[in-house]
Amino acid sequence: INGEVDFISNIPVMDVDRLKSDANIQVVTNPSLSCSYMGFDLLNEHGSAGTDDPNPLLNVKVRQAIYHAIDIQTIIDTVMNGYATVANSYMPSICVGYNPDAERPAYDPELAKQLLAEAGYPASFYEKVDAENLQSSFFMAGWGDGSGEGMVIFNDMLYTYNGKPGMGEGNKGHYSNPEVDALLDEASVEADQDKRAALVEQVDQIARDEAAYVPLFFKDNIFGVRAGLQYTPRSDDHILAWDFTF
């Protein structure tokens, strides 16, 4: 605003309207490749909430209920001030294996209550949130990858943790499904892009059906650019000098 810089990235969403009101500043946005998501503790059979009770998150209906209980559009409209896109997968739309027709489970509080009752939790259950010591029953995190390959993302995020060297390193919730691992093993050596995409789509749908995690949104990249300077954002989130023109 004071004219000391020509370009700035990572503008907080609450500052965008103020910058837009300044005739000397252009606000440029584009969708990022970073997916914000909710993960679950799928490792501990007991003690997830700091007790000896069974871990309710191991029940797929509980995870599905949480998915249906999240009003993601309201979160985007309010918390993110509209500067985000609803996610239905870890994968951004540029990825091999992304299915534009895949439907995100709808926000449905009544269905969420029904699923919890079917899972044996008609009233409530306890969960532990301890971000400081990284000992939470669930957590919110972000993950991005510019490879354009859904297989690469899922190898990191859905393959069994420690199941194979170099695989599952981002799978912090310890989701594990032998069918998913087998499909990813096949996709990792499949040279035909269409066949690889079909395998990745299967993995994506299994993870969605099992609520292995809850994708939330892809935040927008927000840039402030001095008037007279033109900037065209890249889809891979990199900022390069030749993306600017005068």
User: What is the pLDDT averaged over residues 8-18?
Assistant: 90
What is the model's pLDDT at position 87?
95
Mean pLDDT rounded to a whole number for the chain:
89
Sign of CA dihedral 20, 25, 31, 35: negative
* Least confident among 93-107, 108-122, 125-139, 172-186: 125-139
Q: pLDDT at residue 2 above 90?
A: no
Instruction: Count Cα neighbours of 60 within 13 Å in the Cβ-side half-sphere.
Output: 10
Candidates 29, 35, 30; CA nearest to 218 is: 35
Among residues of the chain, what percentage have pLDDT more than 90? Answer: 59
The rounded distance, in Å, linking the Cα atoms of 30 and 110 is 35
Tens-digit pLDDT profile for residues 135-159: 678 888 888 888 899 999 999 999 9
Using CA atoms, how far residue 119 sits from 55, 104, 126, 145, 177, in Å, is 12, 21, 14, 35, 20
Percent residues over pLDDT 70 in the chain: 93
Supply φ then ψ for residue 245, to 5 degrees: -135, 155
Contact 86, 104 (CB under 8 A): yes
* Euclidean distance between the first and the last CA atom of the chain, given in angstroms as a whole number: 19
Cα separation values, 120 from 4, 15, 41, 62, 225, Å: 60, 45, 19, 9, 54
Give the DSSP letter string of 21-63: T-TTEEEEEEEEEEEEEEEE--S-SB-TTSSSSB-GGGSHHHH
Q: Please give the structure tokens belonging to residue 190.
A: 């499949």
The pLDDT of 44-71, averaged and rounded, is 85
pLDDT in tens, 48-59: 656 677 888 999
**Whole-model pTM?**
0.86
